[in-house]
Amino acid sequence: MDDCCSTKTQVTVGANGAEAVAVDPDNTPETEDDPCVSCNGSSRPVTRKTVLLMLKPRCFDLMGDDEYRFCAEPECRVVYFAEGGGARFTTDDVRVRVGLKEKEDPVPLCYCFGFDEADARDEITATGQCSIPQRISALIRRGMCACVERNPAGKCCVGEVNRAVKRLMGETTSINTNDRGENSR
C-alpha cells in the first residue's frame, strides 16, 4: 500500500544548525483554472470520498454525482463546491474545523495526528523551535497517514504545517524583539 504523503525531507540550516523539514508532496496544487463559485479564488479537486467523510450527514442528500473541489481561500466560508455549479458546502456543513479557514484556537494543522497551532505555538514559546513537522514526517515514513480521508483539503498537510510553523516562529521572534526593545528603554 502506498503512502499518501512523500517521505522525502529537505535539510535547511537555521541559527541552531541543520534542521529537517518535511517536503510537501506534489499533490494536485490549488489553481485558479477552476475558481471557487463563491469567491473566484483558487481551488483543487478532491475525491468524492473526502467530501462524504467531511460532510455532516444532513448534507448527504444535497450531493449530486458531480466532481467536487476544495476552496483554498482562507476568507471564503465555502469548503466544497460542485464543478460546473450545483451544490456548495460551507464550514457549517463539515464535521471538522477547516484550519485554513479558522482564525481562533483550536486551529487544526494536522488531521491525521491531531496537531494544532496551539501545539506549535506552545513548543516554540518553550523551546524556540518546533519539532512538529519532523514528528509528522516520521509518522508518515511509518505509513500512518490518511490525509486524503482526514484532511478536508484532501491532501497532505505538511506544506500547511511548515508554513504555519514558519509564521508562528516569525510572530514569536517579533514578540521577543519587541519585549527586549521595551525593556531596554
Beta bridge partners of 19: 12
Number of CB atoms found within 10 A of residue 176's CB: 12
With a threshold of 0.85, does the pTM exceed it?
no
Question: At which residue does the C-alpha cell 454525482 appear?
Answer: 65
Structure confidence by residue, pLDDT tens digits, 64-84: 899 999 999 999 999 999 998
Question: At which residue does the C-alpha cell 494543522 appear?
Answer: 109
Structure confidence by residue, pLDDT tens digits, 95-133: 999 999 999 999 999 999 999 999 999 999 999 999 999
